[in-house]
Amino acid sequence: MAKNLILWLIIAAVLVTVMNNFSSPNEPQTLNYSDFIQQVKDGKVERVTVDGAVIIGKRTDGDSFKTVRPAIADNGLIGDLVDNHVVVEGKQPEQQSIWTHFPILVIIAVFMFFMRQMQGGAGGKGGPMSFGKSKARLLSEDQVKTTLADVAGCDEAKEEVGELVEFLRDPGKFQRLGGRIPRGVLMVGPPGTGKTLLAKAIAGEAKVPFFTISGSDFVEMFVGVGASRVRDMFEQAKKHAPCIIFIDEIDAVGRHRGAGMGGGHDEREQTLNQLLVEMDGFEMNDGIIVIAATNRPDVLDPALLRPGRFDRQVVVGLPDIRGREQILKVHMRKTPIGDNVNPAVIARGTPGFSGADLANLKEKQNTAYHEAGHAIVGRVVPEHDPVYKVSIIPRGRALGVTMFLPEEDRYSLSKRALISQICSLYGGRIAEEMTLGFDGVTTGASNDIMRASQIARNMVTKWGLSEKLGPLMYAEEEGEVFLGRSAGSQHASVSGETAKLIDSEVRSIIDQCYATAKQILTENRDKLDAMADALMKYETIDADQIDDIMAGREPREPRDWEGGSGTSGTSATQAMVAAGATLVDVGGESTRPGARVVTALEELERVAPIVEAISRELDVIISVDTSTPAVIRETARLGAGLINDVRSLTRDGALDAAAAT
């Protein structure tokens, strides 16, 4: 805002200067030459100043005049002026100064400034006339922190791109030996498998700049823009070589030419043609490697895939069980996990998961600690509504929710109750800070911080709950806008010193509540871990389970829990064996109408402990009701003898899994 104001003031000053230069002061009276001669002879002229053909003079009555001498010889003029005692002055020719041209120079400078701004400034990007510039984002070697150690689950792909890293580190070594490095590498694989991550890791490992752009960023509504952006991108890359250009979703611009309604002059085809030319045009010693990613290699133009362009394809597929375990270990590096969390077991229960899917499991655990922090602080602080339910199932924009249920209707709150509310609101953020470290705190507490800050400010400015400021109203009530009051018409009713004191009091309340909540969670760290584990297992826990956790007991199963544990399953089986049963059926997914569909991991976590406990303690045939190949393999390994869902064997991989066991 301030920069814009200064700019407009400069423009106004320039305009005033220009107007002053072009506008003249009060013009003197203009006389024709014959009248001037007559007034000289009549003695009415006091003095004259001769400036070439222009004569400016002053009469004896004080008035000024101006006349122009005609282009004919008048040698008697000087004599007439001297005879009539007229003072004659000559005007020295003006010297040309730089200040004479200063207004014009300023106008040119302002014009150039605006043109540069419209073209996107010094970087050439972002302005309304910069549509021909590349939109590729440059990450310098210091900005790319990702290395190949951060990429897991695709060992074959990492081996294939290893020589690219060596080339980027020392291009001269390959050139001296006559080696040839692919100019383009096409990464192919389903979404979420780590294609972009692998490309960034190559740049981070080799310590080279990394240009990243999406295929859709090339094409705009203007003809020729895409080709211009391709040229500009390669020009920038040559200045930063050796470097990597990464084009994500290249199928947006690299589809087969000649198809569709656009014809040969289609903008997308022009862009593709320019890309093909640039990839053929730069030399080997330029040190530029183009990496592209797509999950639709079948739609790409054959010219893109020929030798000399994207002549090497690296398949980044879905990870196998070993790859999933490696990915989980990477995500668990900075995440505190319980002793009972085994990445190998989770990997067995997540067939078909991509790296992005596995990363989402870590976010679920963060949410569990966040909501557990709310619940524990709300349970301990005085005059707080009882905790009714805690869930990590996303609802709307919230990843989880902690529900507090008042025991009775209340129309007013004490200062102690308000302080307790602020403490519980900060419980989630503090739990994240304790488990993930300050650098690992997420944005999930943004709404909590907003609500806590609003309560603290209202305590000071509206409700008179500050000892320093007393029971005074420091904030005007906001009237309804539609009742004749415009939005933003509220006026501050406090001085600057009072506003400073208000901010200090609000900060004091927040700091006090933050310290209280942190002390509560520090003293109850074991309960925080136990509640987070329960949320990871059940996803939703109620007041009874929270009572168990706060009392230091193992939380009971929810009333509507469809899974089970090894202990409960063994107890039920013992009762059936005592009644004469020789076969028990174990299932982890309900077939009731309306029952929630569970994932393979959830089903495995429900069934595996029961099968393992029964096979270890009881002599009974175990039948598993499942339609998931991963569950078939794991439960058979743990001791299951039958699979009773015959229809499940028609699913892909299920028959092979059953036959292998």
Own/partner contacts of 451-459, CB < 8 Å, gap of 24 or more, are 451/425, 452/421, 452/422, 452/425, 452/426, 452/510, 452/513, 453/506, 453/510, 455/418, 455/421, 455/422, 455/425, 456/422, 456/506, 456/509, 456/510, 456/513, 457/502, 457/506, 459/415, 459/418, 459/509
- Category of 173 on φ-ψ map: left (φ > 0), alpha (ψ -120 to 50) or beta: alpha
Active site residue 371: yes
According to DSSP, the residues that pair with 185 across neighbouring strands are 291, 312
In angstroms, rounded to a whole number, what is the distance separating the alpha carbons of residues 114 and 128?
Answer: 11
CA nearest 80: which of 109, 54, 56, 48?
48
In angstroms, rounded to a whole number, what is the distance separating the alpha carbons of residues 498 and 478?
Answer: 20
Return the structure tokens found at 331: 């995500």
CA nearest 182: which of 279, 325, 41, 327?
279
Structure letter (DSSP) for residue 300: B
Choose the catalytic residue: 371, 603, 605, 634. 371
Q: Which residues contact 648 (CB under 8 A, 6 or more apart)?
A: 626, 627, 628, 632, 654
Q: Is 351 exposed, middle or buried (0-12, 13-18, 19+ CB in 10 A)?
A: buried
Report strand pairing: 401-404 vs 387-391: antiparallel
Residue that the structure tokens 């990477």 belong to = 330
Residues 227/229/235/237 CA torsion (nearest 10 deg)? -120
Return the structure tokens found at 457: 């400010």
Query: Listing from the earlier edge strand, what are the strands of the sheet with 137-139?
Result: 137-139, 210-214, 243-248, 288-294, 184-188, 312-315
Q: Which residues contact 587 (CB under 8 A, 6 or more apart)?
A: 607, 624, 625, 626
In angstroms, rounded to a whole number, what is the distance separating the alpha carbons of residues 402 and 591?
Answer: 29
The count of C-alpha atoms lying within 13 angstroms of the C-alpha of 274, restricted to the half-sphere facing its C-beta, is 22
CA nearest 255: which of 301, 218, 202?
301
Q: Residues 280, 326: contact at Cβ < 8 Å? A: no
Q: Active-site positions?
A: 371
